[in-house]
């Protein structure tokens, strides 16, 4: 009688391919769909073997998040990051740098929900962000944003409180922000797209990020000290 790993291997290779599951990113094959791929670290990536090639693929490759590389290390496709901070602390500037670095690895969509896209494009050029593979979109409806983001490596939304899933729903409301965040997370997992959400910290505390931080993978908090130095905390 086979036991342990030998039994598992025999069971796996004895199965018909149609009964097996494969990670759509790295191709690892398992007898059942795992929540987390042990090979590439991607959540929710296992599909029936025959469907794997029908879904978009992504890989770790040379992807770079610039200033965040030394803090976060290697980030799997489908990761959702939330950047928060008080108004004027430099969130949009950091988001532009991240988008520019990521765009060296593939197309990135930068959603301008607060400002005109031309103003954001000019700021990107002024701070030295290369706009190659970087598309700027003025949009506040989540559905339109997700359709535009199909086929991209990354999606940056600046900012989450300004977008909504329905035109009749107030963007800044708690329900609207949660619903929008859920849609972005679902899209990231399903399409294997990096999603970078920008939100605000109210002067009275962390009420903004607290609304959705349990839904995302990484929370980044940008602060500024009394002497003007900026610090980035990861939770």
What is the reported pLDDT for 62? Answer: 43
pLDDT tens for the chain, 235 residues long, are 333 333 333 334 344 555 688 776 666 788 888 877 777 666 667 778 665 443 344 444 445 666 676 667 678 889 999 999 988 999 999 999 999 988 988 899 999 999 999 999 999 999 999 888 999 999 999 999 999 999 999 999 999 999 999 877 776 688 888 999 999 999 999 998 999 999 987 655 444 678 899 999 999 999 988 888 889 888 8
CATH fold for the domain made of 66-234:
Rossmann fold (3.40.50)
What is the reported pLDDT for 234? Answer: 87
Q: Residue 72: in which H helix or E strand, if any?
A: helix 69-72
Chain position carrying tokens 């339109």: 144
What is the reported pLDDT for 77? Answer: 86
What is the reported pLDDT for 67? Answer: 65
Where in the chain do CATH 3.40.50.300 domains reside? 66-234
Q: CA–CA separation, 25 vs 22, rounded Å?
A: 9
What is the reported pLDDT for 114? Answer: 93
Q: Are strands 230-234 and 218-224 parallel, antiparallel or unpaired?
A: antiparallel
What is the reported pLDDT for 13? Answer: 39
What is the reported pLDDT for 124? Answer: 93
Q: Is the peptide bond before 159 cis (omega within 30 degrees of 0)?
A: yes
What is the reported pLDDT for 132? Answer: 87
Q: CA–CA separation, 131 vs 128, rounded Å?
A: 9
Burial of 145 (0-12, 13-18, 19+ CB in 10 A): buried
**Selection from 7, 112, 20, 101 nearest residue 63 by Cα:** 101
**DSSP E strands, the chain:** 21-23, 29-30, 46-48, 80-85, 108-112, 134-137, 154-158, 194-198, 218-224, 230-234
């Amino acid at each position: 009688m086979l036991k342990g790993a030998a039994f598992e291997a025999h069971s796996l290779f004895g199965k018909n391919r149609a009964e097996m599951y494969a990670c759509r990113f790295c191709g690892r094959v398992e007898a059942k769909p795992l929540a987390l791929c042990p090979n590439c670290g991607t959540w929710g990536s296992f599909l029936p073997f025959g469907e794997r090639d029908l879904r978009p693929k992504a890989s770790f490759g040379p992807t770079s998040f610039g200033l965040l590389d030394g803090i976060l290390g290697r980030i799997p496709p489908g990761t959702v990051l939330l950047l928060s901070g008080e108004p004027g602390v430099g969130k949009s500037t950091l988001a532009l740098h991240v988008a520019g670095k990521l765009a060296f690895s593939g197309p990135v969509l930068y959603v301008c929900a607060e400002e005109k896209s031309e103003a954001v494009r000019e700021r990107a050029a002024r701070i030295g962000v290369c706009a190659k593979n970087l598309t700027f979109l003025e949009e506040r409806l989540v559905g339109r944003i997700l359709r535009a983001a199909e086929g991209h490596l990354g999606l940056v939304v600046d900012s989450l409180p300004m977008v909504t899933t329905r035109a009749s729903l107030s963007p800044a409301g708690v329900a609207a922000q949660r619903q929008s965040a859920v849609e972005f997370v679902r899209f990231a997992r399903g399409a294997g797209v990096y999603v970078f959400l920008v939100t605000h910290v109210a002067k009275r505390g962390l009420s903004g990020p607290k609304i959705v931080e349990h839904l995302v993978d990484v929370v980044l908090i940008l602060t500024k000290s009394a002497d003007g130095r900026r610090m980035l905390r990861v939770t």
